[in-house]
Amino acid sequence: MGTQHLSGIHHVTLITGDVQANVDFYVGFLGLRLVKRTGGYEDAEQLHLFYGDGLGSPGSLVTFLVWEDGSPGRVGHGQVFEIAFAVPPSSLGEWMTRALKHGIALQGPVHEFDETVLRLKDPDGFIVKLVASDLPAAQPSADSGIAPRRLRSVTILSEASEETAAFIERFGYRHGRVEGSTTRMLSDTDAVDIRDGSGYVPGIPGTGTADHVAFRAADTSAIRALEMQLSQLNSSPTNVHDRRYFTSLYVREPAGTLLEVATDGPGFAVDEAPDRLGTTLMVPPGDRDRADDLRVMLPQFAMPGEPRMPRRDLPFVHRFFTPQDPDGGTIVLLHGSGGTEADLMPLAHRIAPGATLLGVRGRAHEEGNARWFRRYSATSFDQADIRSEAEAFAAFVEGAVSAYGLDLARMTFLGLSNGANFAAAVMGLQPGRVRRAILLRPTMVLEAAPTVDLRGAEVLVITGTRDPFSANSALLTNWLDASGAALERRGIEAGHELTPEDAAIAREWLGGRT
């Protein structure tokens, strides 16, 4: 082992599609401590959670990139596909009882490399093993009697297992035993199991899969020395990043698994007191100018035992943001083409800081981008799809009102572009579901505007004088006016993009109605 490395695993990073279920499993069931919650350093609009021992010590950490309601990945070669935690040998019986109590399917006990192992799956389907081991915890958690003490191992599926093993050696690992198609590589504290993945399909990133495994380095000098070594080896490209809590280098081993090498310091207490770790949502330093917006956009969750918003199975993917002091009003958000359910949350929060926000995701897709209905061209739309999606959305609104106890009379629908077009179509096709709407940069998409009574509906339309799509907005506003809606139309000096003036106008308009 070179002097530039400490020995062993620093952390493993996985991907989850359900942040609440993830917290309930890793904190509520496994008993790990949530030691940090932050916006992602690659994408600040992606929540990143870190779990570990009492202080989040290197070697105890499993972290999650949150792809809320994201697409499931595919397990295959070039991936970590199992992680294992060391638990006290005397605790296995209690873990079996605990799994039964929590309704978690469990396999075992079995013996692997002379260790007793229980195998289960987390809510995303990722394999988590509990291994009877006397390995000590660097910083024991409160429930130290049975709680995982540290990571015992990870398992990599590789179609070039010998090359993968040779590459892993440089991080302080030596060859151990071979069982079947799995070779165990040992450090001073843990193991990397490399399973021959010949014949498997390549892994595809997504929820329920691993992003990478990270190994330990003493300091940034060790990171730079490793970067130089890898460049001389003509390995895959390397990237070095300051992640605030550690400095890291990324590289792919010969079979494609993403590896990271991370420094032990400065650690998670650099911006939170040790007894407060994981209680505040942190924002990467480079995104401080939009910290308030990010704290609204990132998904909320409750710790085990805390009150929480129920999650209901409704026709559309959706997410709530609940402010500290809710005023009883709700703004339902309909994003523009290619957007997400969180895109309009910062704007809506500026318009009505006390409103509960309900972001909804369109179900039509175009080259991977979410929309509210299919289109044939920029100005030609699938009328049958608009009608069927409007019907489904009406059922969603009815279900949300019932399931979440919302007051339909205090619901405002805020749509941008494609979302505004859809909200207006719902008003015509499903009368009574949308009683108050703020439509930003809308156009008429219904080829035959329905004859409908919209008396009692209130609508604000904001168009941009430089918006190339604004020419058709008059068709929409004329129809709204003729249908009896209480309509206010405002034109601003803007294109199709949003401006601060949109928020100011909407805030003034909505403030007179709530």
Q: Which fold has domain 9-282?
A: 2,3-Dihydroxybiphenyl 1,2-Dioxygenase; domain 1 (3.10.180)
Q: Tell me, what DSSP letter sits at residue 268?
A: G
Q: What angle in degrees, to the nearest 10, is found between the helix axes of 383-404 and 418-429? A: 80
Each residue of 125-146: pLDDT tens digit? Answer: 999 999 999 998 888 876 667 8
Task: Please give the pLDDT value at position 514.
Answer: 66
Look at residues 261, 263, 265 and name the one whose alpha carbon lies nearest to residue 252.
Answer: 261
* pLDDT < 50: residue spans in the chain: 1-4
Q: Tell me, what DSSP letter sits at residue 274?
A: G
Task: Work out the widest C-alpha separation in the chain, in whole angstroms.
Answer: 79
Task: Please give the pLDDT value at position 137.
Answer: 87
Separation of alpha carbons 69 and 85, rounded Å:
27
Q: What's the pTM value of the predicted model, to 2 decimals?
A: 0.95
276 class by beta-carbon count within 10 Å (0-12 exposed, 13-18 middle, 19+ buried) = exposed
Task: Please give the pLDDT value at position 162.
Answer: 96
Separation of alpha carbons 133 and 111, rounded Å:
12
Catalytic residues: 417, 467, 496
Q: What dotted CATH number matches 312-512?
A: 3.40.50.1820
Each residue of 284-329: pLDDT tens digit? Answer: 999 999 999 999 999 999 999 999 988 899 999 999 999 999 999 9
Q: Tell me, what DSSP letter sits at residue 289?
A: G
| Domain boundaries defined on the chain | 9-282, 312-512
